[in-house]
Amino acid sequence: MINILKNVALAPYTTFKIGGNAGFFVEVGSKNELEEAIEFAGNNNLAVFTLGGGSNILISDKGYNGLVIKMNISGINSADSPAGWHIQAGAGEAWDDVVAYAVGLNAGGIENLSLIPGTVGGAVYQNIGAYGAEIKDILVSVKAYDIQTGNIVELLNEECGFEYRHSVFKYNKNLIIVEADFLLSKENKPNLSYPDLQKQFIGAEPKISEIRRAVIDIRLNKIPYPPLYANAGSFFKNPLVPINNFKDLLRNYPHLNGREPRNGYIKLSAAQLIEKAGLKGKRAGDVGVSDKHALVLVNYGNGLAKNINELEAVIKEAVETKFGIKLETEVEKIICG
């Protein structure tokens, strides 16, 4: 039997430590409990927001008037197959626990995504990526609860609409992720496409466990990691610009980093743009741009969503003024509902 609470503070459930109260709040640990929660929302005409690890969101200072469902469906299972290791994980399972589990099996393809905060559901929802790898590279299928039909549906990889930090689940809010199936390799095929990893393993072919260790070390050294610093991870997406535009930028800013040419586009580093706009380490009261990584906005104490929004506007204006590039926000904003 689910326990639905009223007026629950949401800030403690987010890595930003920001946000007002939920009108109604419930934690679910099974598909049946999820169905009960959705039924309650329907009977009371409430909007629904599903909360995972709270690592890539900014919740309004006014909170959320509807029902917030904290997804705690857990469990990790594996199956050996000729194609590789299949790993199934519940949407509420901590993402890095899944990575550690896979590395323990010596199953490759997921190790570059080590130490990313959040849950499996959030990882799929966001199509997380780091150090040359993305969720879409290893995901087979997703099981989701369809609010409209009340049924569990299965979506194959190609049905998930994966793009850079995007999936079908972002715009179809009727689909709530409950489980994901990943296929990982039995062979040692290290992904060293990212420069920081190349430097770590010059002339070597590292083991999966060694890559995981290197990624963890890099992240801890470069990124202000929750809970030591309250933040939501990368606040902006790395912008894609046409190659010709990139060449024009290089005339004035020869040290700009560009990588991964895609269909005539170059991906720039949003962190570098913010830093070159003079905003790395900028403080505005209790919030600021991290002095460790300019892509991360930090809540240093009692920061509010409105303070983050104001800082975001300053950053976007400064980058566009200097480089003519419009930054796109990666963090999802949850309004009152």
Which entry of 33, 134, 179, 330 is annotated as an active-site residue? 330
CA 4/CA 69 separation, integer angstroms = 9
Q: Measuring CA to CA, how many Å separate 316 from each of 129, 277, 309, 321? A: 23, 10, 11, 8
Tell me, yes or no, if 165 is annotated catalytic.
yes
Tell me, yes or no, if 330 is annotated catalytic.
yes
* Residue of 179, 308, 36, 150 lying closest to 24 (CA atoms): 36
- Are 91 and 113 in contact by the 8 Å Cβ rule? The answer is no
Which entry of 165, 167, 290, 312 is annotated as an active-site residue? 165
Question: What pairing do the DSSP bridges indicate for beta strands 129-130 and 133-134?
Answer: antiparallel
The DSSP annotation for 54-96 comes to --SEEE-TT-EEEEEEEE----EEEEEETTEEEEEEETTSBHH
Tell me, yes or no, if 60 is annotated catalytic.
no
Q: Measuring CA to CA, how many Å separate 320 from each of 12, 114, 294, 314? A: 34, 32, 16, 10
Which entry of 55, 60, 234, 290 is annotated as an active-site residue? 234
> C-alpha angle 177/178/179, rounded to 5°?
105
Catalytic residues: 165, 234, 330
